Amino acid sequence: MIILFLNCGSSSVRYSVYDWARKESLAAGLVERVTMPGTAITHERPGKDKVSFEKECKDHTEAVKLVVDTLINKEYGVINDVKLISAVGHRIVHGGKFAKSVLVDDAVMKELKEISDLAPLHNPAHIMGIEAAQKIIPGVKNICIMDTAFHQTMPDHVFMYALPYEWYTDLKVRRYGFHGSSVLYCAKRAAVLLGKKSNEVNVIVCHIGNGASITAVKEGKCFDTSMGLTPLEGLVMGTRSGDIDPAIPFYVMSKTGVSPDDMYNTLNKGSGVLAVSGKSADRRDVELAAEAGDQRCQLAVDMESYRIKKYIGAYAAALGRVDAVVWTAGVGERGPVIREKALRDLEYMGLEYDHDKNFSALTKNAESEITAPNSKVKSFVIPTDEEIVGVEDIVAILENRYDVHTKYTYIFEDKNYRNKLRDELFAKEIAKKPFLLKAAVNVPENIKNLVK
């Protein structure tokens, strides 16, 4: 069973192809500058050279066609016939009321269009992607993987805002949360590493990338999360402001004449680490500049890590008991500086941070523990795998055995689950950097033997 997975942005189409029978990724890539001059595709396959070339795509239909044509290309494709694709999955940033992945039909499309205003930067592009797939691969089943679905277990006193109640009933204003597939994967993998069932653990999952969120997972279910109606609320992010006094935009607009649209754009694309540092949203660049003495970059690092620490403390109080703090996504997986500053001095809650382990966890290909052996609360670095969550949801829907995650067991909840490609890449890494094994956990013996 071959699954094509699409993540459509306003001017881009990310894709991946997964072979369920072999349990491995066949290819992944990105079409950039869709609707603009200079459209280009980058196509990657495990163990083979990257393929890149330009081809104009005036809309998402042409972009999806480019993806399909690339996948069946005789020279660098990975399948022989488009008919081998069993289903097309679509990552939907804002899934509104949907509590699980769903097969696309007229009712689903109607609902997605009705909630487009809740995610104007994302959902319209997702809808175009679905319509493009329906046109380019007629008859294939399309399935939506909702980024908000995991968070639908939040109680009302957590997801509600202290605003006029009619805004909730009439306008659907409430906290929805995002990064749901990533949090689901990491929470369930943390349970495996703890030797427990997912409904037995309380974990705090820090998904720290350009977009960043923290989620409090209680007994395997979302209890609270930092992002809200939109992905703007919560942490200091790459270009998003996160939590601010809501009066600030009104004050600045009254003083400067900035329009509401420009203010919205500034809060989403011109704030966060980029604005504070004055240099970049890339934490690697900012940390290097801070180390060299740039005070604004140091301020950006301090602000981001402090906001994370504050949320960890708040969610520890909300959960009552914490079994683990999990780090994932680009910065979470490969940002030891941010992790260290956020985890220091948490001994009061039973978490004893280990500096050497933290700075040994410099890989995106291995699960690692970065706390001391006697730490009552563990901290893990877990490379996220949103693809396997989406693919398994799709396969289960096609086979009529799917249900909400609280009633469904994923293949990666098995303690013996392995990611073949990730193991191969990690083996190559430790052959050159044996120190990576210091923090890594759940490593096969054949990989450990590489350093002996």
What does the angle CA 353 – CA 424 – CA 334 come to, to the nearest 5 degrees? Answer: 30
The string over 402-434, giving b where at least 16 C-beta atoms fall within 10 Å of a residue's C-beta and e elsewhere, is: beebeeeebebbeeeeebeebbeebbebbeeee
The reply to whether 209 sits in an annotated binding site is yes
Examine the pLDDT at 450 and tell me if it is beyond 90.
no
Supply the pTM of this predicted model. Answer: 0.93
Q: What is the pLDDT of residue 237?
A: 96
Please identify every residue annotated as catalytic: 147
Mean pLDDT rounded to a whole number for the chain = 94
Q: Identify the CA nearest to 322 among candidates 224, 181, 227.
A: 224
Dihedral (CA of 121, 127, 133, 136) sign: negative
Q: Identify the CA nearest to 397 among candidates 11, 58, 3.
A: 3
The reply to whether 284 sits in an annotated binding site is yes
The reply to whether 386 sits in an annotated binding site is yes
Average pLDDT over residues 110-125: 85
Rounded to an integer, what distance in angstroms lies between the CA atom of residue 3 and that of residue 5?
Answer: 6
Rounded to an integer, what distance in angstroms lies between the CA atom of residue 116 and that of residue 428?
Answer: 44
Rounded to an integer, what distance in angstroms lies between the CA atom of residue 36 and that of residue 12?
Answer: 10
Q: Identify the CA nearest to 363 among candidates 332, 325, 326.
A: 332
Rounded to an integer, what distance in angstroms lies between the CA atom of residue 334 and that of residue 359?
Answer: 9
The reply to whether 91 sits in an annotated binding site is yes
Q: Identify the CA nearest to 67 among candidates 141, 10, 13, 126.
A: 13
Average pLDDT over residues 368-389: 96
> Mind listing the domains of the chain with CATH numbers?
2-143 (3.30.420.40), 180-242+293-381 (3.30.420.40)
Alpha carbon dihedral 316, 277, 273, 173, in 10-degree steps, equals 100
The reply to whether 283 sits in an annotated binding site is yes
Average pLDDT over residues 112-118: 86
Q: What is the pLDDT of residue 452?
A: 66
Angle between helices 123-136 and 60-71 (to 10 degrees): 50
Residues 395-422: tens digit of each pLDDT:
999 999 999 999 999 999 999 998 888 8
Q: What is the pLDDT of residue 421?
A: 82
The reply to whether 211 sits in an annotated binding site is yes
Examine the pLDDT at 120 and tell me if it is beyond 80.
no
DSSP state, 266? H
The reply to whether 208 sits in an annotated binding site is yes
DSSP state, 86? E
Residues 130-155: tens digit of each pLDDT:
999 999 999 999 999 999 999 999 99
Q: How many CB atoms lie within 10 A of CB 275?
A: 18
